[in-house]
Structure 1
Amino acid sequence: MAVDTQKLIIGVDVGGTNTDAVLLNPAKSGSEAVISSYKATTGADVTTGIEEAIRVLLKDANVQPSQVASLMIGTTHLINAVVERDASRLSKVAVLRLTSQGYLKYTPPFIDFPTDLKNIMNGYQGTLSGGVQIDGTLIAPVNEEEVLREAEAIKERGLRSVAVLGVYSPMDKKFAQEEHVRRVLQKALGEEVDIVCSKEIAGVGVLARENATILNASIMRFAKRTIRGFKRAMRGLQLTCPLYLTSSSGQLLSADEAARFPIQIFSSGPTNSIRGAAFLSSKRDSNESRFVVDIGGTTSDVGVLLPNGFPRLAGSVAEIGGVKVNFALPQVESIGLGGGSMIHVSKDNNSNTTKITIGPESVGQALRQKALCFGGDVLTSTDIMVAAGKAEMSGTDVKVPTVDEATIAAARLKMKRMLEDHIDRMKTSPEPCQILLVGGGAFLCPSELEGVASIEVPAFANVANAVGAAVAEIGAASEAVVDMVDREKALEDVKANVIDQAVARGAREGYVRIIEEEVAGLPYMEGKFKVAVKVAGPVDYERFLDGTPSGSEAIDAALGKDEDDEVYIEKKQWEVTDAVDSKPVIDVDHVNYRPDIDSERIWNVSETDAYYLSIGCYILGCAGGGTPYGPYLQARQMLREGGKIRIVDVDDLPDDMLAVPVAAMGSPVLAIERLGGSMILDAVKDLQEHMKTSFAAVLTAEIGGANGLSPMMLSSSRALNNFTLDADLMGRAFPAFQMSSLYIGANGDINHLLPAVISSGEGTTMTISKAKDSNAVDQLLRSAVMTMGFGAGIAARPAGKKELKEYGCLRSVSLAWRLGRAVCQARARGAITTVHDDLIREFGGPQAARKVFEGKITGIEQRLYGGRSQGTLVIEKLKDHEKENEEVGSGSSGALSDEEGPEKLWIPFVNENLVVEATYPSGEKRTLATVPDLIMVLDLLTGEAVGVPEYRYGLKVFVMVAAAHPLWTSTEHALAIAGPRAFGYDIDFKPCGTYTGVKSVIDEFGPARKE
């Protein structure tokens, strides 16, 4: 049934400076749907601008409030508070962690926050007993006396926002520890204190989940004030329709949902601008991606509009205001450049030059009171453009400000470069891009930008955000973990349930469509599947026009009566600091960076080195080994506190040296949740005691994944205070103890790798001195690891210099460093699209490595191989409308072209990727690569590795293969240990290339070796 033209909808965007509103006829499309639009100044109390804008809309269109079917509001208000570091809108947060056994000890809360944001939000940090294992079993129970003591500490500090985080809390179905703590705290602190449980905010990934929870808790009080302001505006306008807020996904949230989970609307402004630009563009059917640049009063946001009309999603890692979080967001970069941005001018008398700093502070909604062109005393970006004759402001009180020509020129050049740099950071190739320019501050953008082919300003561009809000839909999502035999029925049940949820939330019955569906095996949980469904549908205006539900009543029920219900006048308070930012690498010239190799040929690891190694180790993990990000943060923290990590070449150590191989064992998911602890250190200490000796160096058993970095912390000046060797025993990551290069030379005797000590880090250790065969050791270790909470540390028999030179994978640390540096250099050049060429070069050239596929993850299947179940990643070729440039899928450096390349890939994995199976358009199937060669899946947007825990539907990736170290491929014995048949595949190994060796970082950047 077509929607009657009298059934209209209002979309509103509440920005930091302006409030935009549009009245739309939902029966039409494009600019023809816009009946009227208006731009008002955002009032200091939020309400004023909304009331003014909507009142003008209704008056101009001669529409009664009763004819409005729905009010959709999007706002950048919340994200602006984070970007601007506005302490008046961000509350200090008490962070309470439920963790025992030393987990998270070296990764304190706020560890990867920008320093200025940490200064605003860090109110208190406390630790409580608690936490669960990956399977939901107990690490330690909650101690209510501890909770009450922490409540007193919070009360003494006058804090009213609390974030509660438990190790593996998303898996905590039985004990509900976070909820238990919240109940005790709420009773002790009172209902006026906001307490947020991390499991309600995000999934597994302890630091990113904690970050998101802190942001949510910090903004809650301001979010509630903001929504109460929306409620007041509706009452003043006599609107009884429902109120929705748009989320970062472009879907709608109820007022209650938005008040409890404001972080979900943080990126709604940029999302709405992208969708609004798509709706308004004259090239709605364009088959090319375009960049959307939305310049408001406070920020400039850049996103990418895909040919399907939706935003490009962020990769496996997303950021909000410089803080890493672990839920899907549109890939949008925000900077503090808008019409209200403050401009600071300083003169260098020596060089007679003008230095300009723009933002991130903004006069925001006070533009017409504070800007020079309106009679104020603050120089803003708008003043510069008015003085330059590039912007016209409405009103009789406008005057051209007096600004000297040097300042105008310097400021305009600064704005131009800020936008160019901003756009470059979003590019995946250096090719010129097309721009859709929207927003009330669009006049700040010059007519030409470096690296930009064309700029389109669509009709109603200045209210694109409001249009995007108006065309948002109602969605719902649901997932369940089910047994293998029940998965088909479970999928249908979840579909029916989630559709009912969407209808109950206001979607039109019969018009709800499934937008995402996934049935995926769960790694490391035999026989279990995750079933997930997302849906969306148009708002049921008919139901709301009948008076059910009443928007005002619904909001009152959600928010209740509050003592702050009167008009709230905002007074911004910016945090300014000269402290070092907490971003991974600050002001590093990746092209010319040189590591610190001293006169003794000792590599003294820096923060930059650690960052490169974290990226490279994950690439070498072949999707396994767990993310090194947590160990990297621990290393960075230790380095900043004055600790040292030293790496040496095997050739530079005495002949009688002993290096102990170490690793963490278990599920790679542990590396993103159970950080820290003493399990590897305890294992080494027990091994030293058992063997009555000490070790000169530490050797990582596997360079791939978190194990590539963890041993460096062990060898640091804060632990064993010895050296890390530039070598490992795998050249990648493998899932089994016997898959060690030392075992290749052992003539099948597993005792050559023993003794080995395994430790839980919780006081339990086990020493294996002798075994009948490798299977016995493997089974014993796996059983012990499961008993120890699916993760433990291991230290094995130390190796001498002679043995390592013969059977070690030498200079693998150098290779990890080079791979990480290559990714950083590609990003610095804005050339991530061709990062595979850089990685191929570091692996040794096209004879050693190649790119085999580019596509989108479409699922994770569970298959049987060799009698056991394994996960299988499914990647499909990108459809034309999903490609972001014509080169996607084209061949270079060994990559296959669209015509000859496969259509679909299957990559079975255990902890690591094992095989690449491809299907071609002709129907032919081929095996492109197998273990022990390296099979790597990398994020198409960042160039970084995607591990098993990050595999998710819709992620765009490319697949590379590289030749394994020749120790693994030169003999049948070695292939029997780690070739395809070792994993249950009856496939003959065929090398994907020829290993060419690795150039030592110490040899390249350090002095020559003394003979």
Structure 2
Amino acid sequence: MTRPRHLRIGIDVGGTNTDGVLLDVSRSHDASDRGILAWNKTPTTANPSDGIASSLRSLLTSASIRPSDIASVTIGTTHFVNAVVERDARRLDRVAVLRLCGPFSKHAPPCVDWPDDMRELVLGYYALVRGGLEVDGNVISDIDDDEIKAFCAEARKRGISSVVIIGVFSPIDTVERQEERAAAIVRAEISGADVVCSKDVASLGFLERENAAILNAAILRFARRTVKALKEPARKLGLDCPVFITQNDGTILSGEEAARLPIRTFSSGPTNSMRGAAFLMQGEGEQRKGPMMVVDIGGTTTDAGLLLESGFPRQQAAYSELAGIRMNFSCPDIKSIGLGGGSVVRKGPPLTIGPDSVGYELTKKSLIFGGDVLTATDCAVLINPELKIGNPELAKGAVTDAEIEEFQAVVKSKLERIIDTMKTSPVDIPVVLVGGGSIIAPSNLEGASNVVKPQWSGVANAIGAATARVSAVVDTVRSTEVKTPQQILEEICKEAIAKTIKAGALPSSVEIVEMETLPLQYIANKSRFVVRAAGDFDLSRADLFESTVGKPEDHEIDSDEVTITSEAPTEEWESVPRSEPKDLDIPTYKPTVRNRTWYINETDLSWISTGCYILGTGGGGSPYPHMLLLRQLLRSGAVVRVVSPRDISNDAAVGCGCGAGSPTVSIEKLQGDEMMQAQTELYKICGRTATHMIALEIGGGNGLQGLTLSASSNLDVPCVDGDWMGRAYPTKWQTTPVVFNERQPIWSPIAVADGNGNVVVMPVAASDLHVERIIRAALSQMGSQVGCADPPVTGAEMKRWVVENTLSQAWRIGRAVARARAENRLDNVAEMIIDECGGPGAGKVLFKGKIVGVHRTLRMGHVYGECVVEGADATGAGLAESLEYKGRIKIPFKNENIAAIRVPDSYTTAADGEFEKQEDVLAIVPDLISVIDAQNGEAVGTPEYRYGLFVVVIGIAASTKWTGSERGIELGGPKAFGFDHVEYKPLGRFVPPASVIDEFDG
């Protein structure tokens, strides 16, 4: 009988040090030593295998342990992410991309939103072929073997053997298995091909999943060699056990899986430290209750993250960015600054610390080791010679007492600032200091209820690796027609648990750590379910062993390819902003306006896109994919013109086009030609074509459709600076032409096209309400996403009905957000937005805080729900003097936000129809209520509401086109959303948006 093994080794290969820990998991609750039998910290070697081998030998020798007693070795490394960040052509292969998309996504090719240098380095070839699914699982079209073989022939001709296959809605494809079938063809046609199926890498979000899959494919060859290099020392020392690699969420991948999906390790370093902190804080009594802030100070960077009570780090928002590339897979919410033990100290004045660092050369270059560079470690040793690091005598006289005090003040200020940024409440929170560089940190920090530096904190990252768990995620769309969401959730939880056990978890330890239900807008009886389970590694699972990794040609290791060059840079991961050209001077920038015509460029487009989502009041869908489409038109030479409503003749024909359907579908089934197809079919029965275009709604993705349709490569007409809503609303009858009611119906004839060969034309309708209902009914059979074309109105009608200058308003809002980011003034971004909308009299900051509850339900195709926000300054500071943002508010929504209402502290979610006190209503429709991410100034849509997100809630006065009549308030006000007992009271005075054309003409 095999003797059970309880010993696990964790190793973390950092840019400065390689840390190792030998842990007896059977004694992990022993308060005296936590089961830690040995630990070491050695400088990282240029070839990481040497450092790992040295660490392993030291651990085994110091603890007198036989190799046969070790159950597993788990390694954390920044190697894979560094290959991408450093844009290293030696470690990145060119990739061919095969899209199974049918007629969709043609206007946003692969790598469309990548930095130019990365796209040129990685993307070798792509093809768009038949395939893809609708959101209900029906096929857009089946794959065509001959098309795929032709793709393979071209890839072979170009010498490309790394291939990504991505299909529309492939993450929910469990029946057709189109990606897998296409992969089999590719492997048969291209000998030795590395094939990555996108569904194995990330979930819904076509472009973001594709980006992640491409990066993964680009480093596969390097990953195999690196994983072998990481495993080789264990094999040479006779360790007959599995070697794992840690992944982004604090759990493990087998070496084989890490070589197949290296992208899952990209953010594992900070996560290891946080998981190690969670382990070290077990048994610390009251200190372990509730969330904790973990501050990991390494040799080059300080990483701060919030450790939840579950023992896992808080996850980032839906999208993340690495090396300028937007992706959508799970990674921890970490903020980094350039502060570490190896940070270079310059005496000034003023004294500065970092962000540059001597990194793993600390033991050569710092003063205490005989070098000539003053580092943060030198200063720490001068402050406390008892640290027993290097020779303090070598640094004596390098800094004065006053400079030492200034050094301490700078370190304290930097740490307090990053802690404030990551806090979820103004209440002081326990702060756990870990990492070898934590020697530079003070024992007291403002904003911390107490500062804890547990024993073995210097190797917390290695402890986190040794104690890493096993996890699995199920992210799927299911029908709720027969079973309730709760019944389906229970089934999916069982699937996630079974998947976790199959991955190597001890069955008795598996638990559900994340669970979310997301009803899909405008899709009957469908919801998205996300469930994650995690458990402890089952030490008896011999089936997880692998004898080799990769292909024969990968077995010889090129040491240059796995050489440590630097630690991952500061700000490795961050929420995605819209980037501006680095040399753009925002305050002095002037758009191109000539002869009363505004010519849109990429900077204008970026700002308008940001502004549209904020004006979308939570709805309308993200403008991001539509912005990319329009940017591609501009880059291909298209001209996009905007004119003032006042300059249009009365007999002009002003057309309108929009997208209708589910935002979830729009991020996956990227737009094809449906918008133009609907326009073409409509004009066949209208008897006249449009001379101008206007957006149906400025809010969300539809805010860009007027610009796209009017482009010279499409209809080639000017776009009106205005729209029919001044915001976003969920229905077509909530538009200003319907408010004016000068003819009935307004919205017929109408045409809708699904982009897949199906067009519905309605020549006549009884009312605008019937138009809405019939189109919604058709949506479910047309893929839940269509392009709509509305009949042209006269120029005279347009002037009476239009909400003027809303493209200008979106542009100004986007400019304010860009300026706040450029000037590091995000703490005032809400006030800057309001200033662009007319100032404090025209809007106000309603609340600041974090989301503490989200409730969603699907009724009649619309997602109803509410978001609960608890008062907290975005930095976690300053609320003691600001009673205004204490307590809680709720934001009920029907696709878009309806109101902001103050609620009791004990409130969680309301029952439908609960009475609201008038005095508790901070703002309500038709006024605009927008939720903004406090960390980047971008809008947060209702599908993106999640627990723990810092937000600022703002209100903007609605146009008088809504508030100037009883009918406007009836159609767009409280009663239209079921708030029959609440009277509309304006939050401010509407200030008409200032025209860009008026300001910059000439």
Instruction: Bin the TM-score by the shorter chain.
Output: 0.7 to 0.9
Counterpart mapping for 1:893-932 below 5 A: 896-898=885-887, 901-902=888-889, 905=890, 907-909=892-894, 911-914=895-898, 919-921=903-905, 926-927=915-916, 928=921, 930-932=924-926
Rounded to whole Å, the distance in 2 between the matches of 1:358 and 1:644 is: 46
Rounded to whole Å, the distance in 1 between the matches of 2:38 and 2:217 is: 37
Rounded to whole Å, the distance in 1 between the matches of 2:95 and 2:501 is: 36
Counterpart mapping for 1:119-198 below 5 A: 119-190=120-191, 192-198=192-198
The one of 319, 323, 326 equivalent to 2:325 is 323
Rounded to whole Å, the distance in 2 between the matches of 1:850 and 1:968 is: 22
How much has 1:646 moved relative to structure 2?
A: 2.7
Matched, 1:707 2:702: yes
The one of 808, 814, 827 equivalent to 2:808 is 814
How much has 1:706 moved relative to structure 2?
A: 0.7
Question: Closer, same or farther in 2 for the Cα pair 1:956/1:449, shift >3 Å?
Answer: closer
Cα deviation 1:538-578 (Å, max 9, x = unaligned) = 345xxx2xxx333xx63326846744334442346999xxx
- 1:45/1:568 contact within 8 Å kept: no
State, as a whole percentage, how many aligned pairs show the same letter: 34
Residue 742 (structure 1) aligns with: 737
Question: Closer, same or farther in 2 for the Cα pair 1:399/1:239, shift >3 Å?
Answer: farther
- Name the amino acid aligned to 2:867: I
Counterpart mapping for 1:422-461 below 5 A: 439=435, 460=456
Counterpart mapping for 1:869-880 below 5 A: 870-878=862-870
Rounded to whole Å, the distance in 2 between the matches of 1:606 and 1:458 is: 54
The one of 720, 726, 732 equivalent to 2:721 is 726
- Name the amino acid aligned to 2:768: S
| 3-state SS of 1:698 partner | strand
Residue 463 (structure 2) aligns with: 467
Matched, 1:994 2:998: no
Question: Closer, same or farther in 2 for the Cα pair 1:586/1:890, shift >3 Å?
Answer: farther
How much has 1:80 moved relative to structure 2?
A: 1.4
Residue 28 (structure 2) aligns with: 26
How much has 1:704 moved relative to structure 2?
A: 0.9
Give unmatched runs, 5+ long, in structure 2.
Answer: 346-351, 399-406, 567-575
How much has 1:112 moved relative to structure 2?
A: 1.7
The one of 292, 295, 299 equivalent to 1:292 is 295
- Name the amino acid aligned to 1:745: F
Rounded to whole Å, the distance in 1 between the matches of 2:655 and 2:129 is: 35
Counterpart mapping for 1:21-420 below 5 A: 21-24=20-23, 26-28=28-30, 34-43=36-45, 46-101=48-103, 103-190=104-191, 192-277=192-277, 290=293, 292=295, 294-296=297-299, 301=303, 303=305, 310-332=312-334
Could you tell me the TM-score, scaled by structure 1's length? 0.82
Cα deviation 1:178-204 (Å, max 9, x = unaligned) = 1121011011123x3221111222222
Cα deviation 1:261-310 (Å, max 9, x = unaligned) = 2211110012123343565689955989757354447x765545678865
Residue 799 (structure 2) aligns with: 805
- 2:97/2:164 contact within 8 Å kept: yes
The one of 480, 483, 486 equivalent to 1:483 is 480
Cα deviation 1:204-244 (Å, max 9, x = unaligned) = 21111111111121222222222223332222232234433
Of 236-245 and 590-599, more deviation after overlay is shown by 590-599
Question: Closer, same or farther in 2 for the Cα pair 1:273/1:952, shift >3 Å?
Answer: same
Question: Closer, same or farther in 2 for the Cα pair 1:1004/1:58, shift >3 Å?
Answer: farther
Counterpart mapping for 1:948-967 below 5 A: 948-952=942-946, 955-967=949-961
How much has 1:58 moved relative to structure 2?
A: 2.0
Question: Closer, same or farther in 2 for the Cα pair 1:515/1:788, shift >3 Å?
Answer: closer
Counterpart mapping for 1:518-917 below 5 A: 518-540=516-538, 544=539, 548-550=540-542, 554-556=544-546, 559=549, 562-571=552-561, 584-587=579-582, 592-747=587-742, 749-750=744-745, 752-844=746-838, 845=840, 848-852=843-847, 854-856=849-851, 858-862=853-857, 868=860, 870-878=862-870, 885-887=876-878, 896-898=885-887, 901-902=888-889, 905=890, 907-909=892-894, 911-914=895-898
- Name the amino acid aligned to 1:912: E
Rounded to whole Å, the distance in 1 between the matches of 2:863 and 2:665 is: 18
Number of residue pairs matched?
A: 959
- 2:958/2:990 contact within 8 Å kept: no
Residue 349 (structure 1) aligns with: none
Cα deviation 1:783-837 (Å, max 9, x = unaligned) = 4444433222223232344323321111222222233233333334545455433
How much has 1:629 moved relative to structure 2?
A: 0.7
How much has 1:130 moved relative to structure 2?
A: 2.1
Question: Closer, same or farther in 2 for the Cα pair 1:559/1:989, shift >3 Å?
Answer: farther
Residue 572 (structure 2) aligns with: none
- 2:518/2:943 contact within 8 Å kept: no
Rounded to whole Å, the distance in 2 between the matches of 1:417 and 1:655 is: 65
How much has 1:770 moved relative to structure 2?
A: 2.6
- 1:211/1:325 contact within 8 Å kept: yes
Residue 409 (structure 1) aligns with: none
| 3-state SS of 2:765 partner | coil
How much has 1:843 moved relative to structure 2?
A: 4.0
| 3-state SS of 2:660 partner | strand
Rounded to whole Å, the distance in 2 between the matches of 1:438 and 1:165 is: 40
- 2:696/2:724 contact within 8 Å kept: yes
How much has 1:50 moved relative to structure 2?
A: 1.4
Cα deviation 1:759-795 (Å, max 9, x = unaligned) = 3344554443332222332233234444433222223
| 3-state SS of 1:37 partner | strand
Question: Closer, same or farther in 2 for the Cα pair 1:482/1:310, shift >3 Å?
Answer: same
Rounded to whole Å, the distance in 1 between the matches of 2:340 and 2:552 is: 33
Of 434-443 and 718-727, more deviation after overlay is shown by 434-443
Could you tell me the TM-score, scaled by structure 2's length? 0.82
- Name the amino acid aligned to 1:160: S
Question: Closer, same or farther in 2 for the Cα pair 1:533/1:978, shift >3 Å?
Answer: same
How much has 1:651 moved relative to structure 2?
A: 1.9
Rounded to whole Å, the distance in 1 between the matches of 2:703 and 2:629 is: 13
- Name the amino acid aligned to 2:582: D
- Name the amino acid aligned to 2:865: L
How much has 1:969 moved relative to structure 2?
A: 3.2
How much has 1:340 moved relative to structure 2?
A: 9.5
Rounded to whole Å, the distance in 2 between the matches of 1:417 and 1:710 is: 49
Question: Closer, same or farther in 2 for the Cα pair 1:416/1:557, shift >3 Å?
Answer: same
- 1:163/1:196 contact within 8 Å kept: yes
Rounded to whole Å, the distance in 2 between the matches of 1:157 and 1:1000 is: 53
Of 306-315 and 470-479, more deviation after overlay is shown by 306-315
- 1:590/1:825 contact within 8 Å kept: no
- 1:918/1:926 contact within 8 Å kept: no
How much has 1:68 moved relative to structure 2?
A: 3.3
Cα deviation 1:14-54 (Å, max 9, x = unaligned) = 23454221223622469866543223454555432212101
| 3-state SS of 1:797 partner | strand
Rounded to whole Å, the distance in 1 between the matches of 2:493 and 2:445 is: 47
| 3-state SS of 2:816 partner | helix
Rounded to whole Å, the distance in 2 between the matches of 1:130 and 1:495 is: 30
- Name the amino acid aligned to 1:473: R
- Name the amino acid aligned to 1:21: G
